[in-house]
Amino acid sequence: MPGSVRARAAAGATAVVALALIAAGTAVLLVLRGNLQGQAGLQAEVAAREVAAQIATGTPYDRLDLPDGDEHPVVVTDEDGRVLAVGDDVRAVDGRSVGGARTGAGHAGAGRSAAGEDTDDDARGPRPGEVDDDAHQSDGTADVDGTVADYRFAAVEAEDGRGEKATVRAGSVLAPERAAVGSVRDAMLIGLPLLLVVVAGVTWLVTRRALRPVEGIRAEMAAITASTDLSRRVPEPAARDEIARLARTTNETLAALEASVERQRRFVADASHELRSPIASLRTQLEVGAAHPELLDVPGAVADTVRLQRLAADLLLLARLDAGERPAGGRRVDLAALVREETAQRAGDRVPVRVGPSEGLEVAGSRSQLGRVLGNLLDNAQRHAASSVEVAVVRDGAWAVLRVEDDGPGVPAAERERIFERFVRLDDARARDDGGAGLGLAIARDVAVRHGGSLAVREGAVFELRLPVAG
């Protein structure tokens, strides 16, 4: 499965490890090669200095103790490049034949003073009877007894007691160094693919085991989708990792979705039930009126029509609120003025509404929706009041508080949250002929929440709407 997470994880891990191993292997080979070359150069320099020390002490060139050519090929030359001495079996160095070199030859500058031109001693290199401290290293080839090989050469200058200079060039074979580097390289070339195979396999197995709960979650979600049974839940791993949190979040989402679907079903059932009664009553009255015009109850038909219209308006507002509709920003509403307008329309109601102390507080939001909240609260208070209803607007810090209180029996403590659910009415309200559909308080709380406030029953029959003061 090239598109699976396991394959991508295995490929990615293998690529990263491969790059790291290639970089590390290259660095190891370079360091190893440098160290071995350094050792070869050191050996060549030691051999060259041993021969140079003999020259500095006045040993004739034909009596120099030179190392075997197979071990360290040595060539001694003068300042003009003439070969003065060579090691045994050394035939050529860097392609230049040295096999016919003279040994024990006379010294070229024998009449030169040992201290001649002493002002240029530092520039000329070593002083008479000394060996130069500096050694110059380079790579080259040497033909020893017919076998040409690569060497690391070290060149050291020496000056005998008569002031004659000679350059001793000694070599150290590079074949062991190259063999060692080649062996390490071959081992890496063999081991690297095997290691990458192991990394890919381990990553595949570990990823497969880590993603096994994800496959369980996916399979269960597919089964839930196919069966539409939202009561099922995905398995939650015992580990406290990201996958376990994903499973818990998925189950929480399923629970919220199940609750939402259940609320929607209950809402549709309750709405159908509430709509059926006024529609059935209106139809009955219209059918009776069509058969017997003199028996048509026009006021009753109008009342049923108004009730049906209000219920449809409530359902429409709830649908808009459920869709996430927010009040238009930037508009300010004077709560005290809103209270005066609403109470003025209720002057002839069965239970009068008295306006208590009210401050001119402004809140941001929709005037029509806040007016709907106030109207629903007053309708509820008048429905349960015995003789009076009072409404007031006060300030509590950064909050504008609108209180609606009636002298009715109040709301039992156990019912103070349930009354804000949709289509919920207490028994005494259901007994009244003018009882609502149980949507007024639910609408009022939803509007309050979407205005950044809250609606609650405090004590007895006091409903308190709290909204943030504008500005």
CATH of the domain at 384: 3.30.565.10
Q: What is the mean pLDDT of residues 296-319?
A: 79
Whether residue 116 lies inside any domain: the answer is no
Task: Say yes or no to pLDDT of 69 above 90.
Answer: no
pTM for this entry: 0.49
420/371 Cα distance (integer angstroms): 18
Copy the structure tokens of residue 352.
Answer: 């009068």
Q: How confident is the model at residue 319 (pLDDT cuts 50, 70, 90)?
A: confident
Task: Say yes or no to pLDDT of 401 above 90.
Answer: yes
Task: Report the mean per-residue pLDDT for the chain.
Answer: 82
Q: In 53-191, where do the E strands start and end?
A: 74-77, 83-86, 90-93, 96-97, 130-131, 136-144, 147-159, 165-173
User: Residues 130, 205: one domain?
Assistant: yes
User: Residues 308, 377: one domain?
Assistant: no
pLDDT tens figures, 418-455: 888 877 766 544 344 455 567 888 888 988 998 899 99
Give the residue from 189, 206, 228 where a domain finishes. Answer: 228
Task: Say yes or no to pLDDT of 366 above 70.
Answer: yes
Instruction: Report the range out of 106-115, 150-159, 160-169, 405-414 with the highest average pLDDT.
Output: 150-159
364/342 Cα distance (integer angstroms): 19
Percent share of the chain, pLDDT over 70: 89
436/313 Cα distance (integer angstroms): 13
Q: How confident is the model at residue 330 (pLDDT cuts 50, 70, 90)?
A: low
Contacts of 44 (CB under 8 A, 6+ apart): 72, 137, 151, 152, 153, 154, 170, 171, 172
Token look-up 């109850």 returns 297
User: Residues 42, 180: one domain?
Assistant: yes
In 292-347, which residue ranges form alpha helices assigned H by DSSP?
298-322, 335-344
Give the residue from 299, 322, 345 where a domain finishes. Answer: 322
Would you state the pLDDT for residue 106?
35
- Helix 335-344 and helix 367-384, axial crossing angle in degrees, nearest 10: 50
Whether residue 114 lies inside any domain: the answer is no
150/170 Cα distance (integer angstroms): 13
Between 141 and 5, where is the model more confident?
141
Token look-up 């359902």 returns 315
Whether residue 233 lies inside any domain: the answer is no
User: Residues 370, 453: one domain?
Assistant: yes
User: Residues 198, 61: one domain?
Assistant: yes
User: Residues 382, 427: one domain?
Assistant: yes
pLDDT tens figures, 86-143: 888 888 888 888 765 544 333 333 333 333 334 344 445 566 778 888 889 898 888 8
User: Residues 386, 446: one domain?
Assistant: yes
241/434 Cα distance (integer angstroms): 57
Task: Say yes or no to pLDDT of 3 above 60.
Answer: no
In 69-174, which residue ranges form alpha helices assigned H by DSSP?
121-124
Q: How many other CB atoms are there within 10 angstroms of residue 388's CB atom?
A: 15
Would you state the pLDDT for residue 429?
44
Give 148's DSSP letter.
Answer: E
Range of the domain at 393: 332-468
Number of domains in the chain: 3
User: Residues 393, 451: one domain?
Assistant: yes
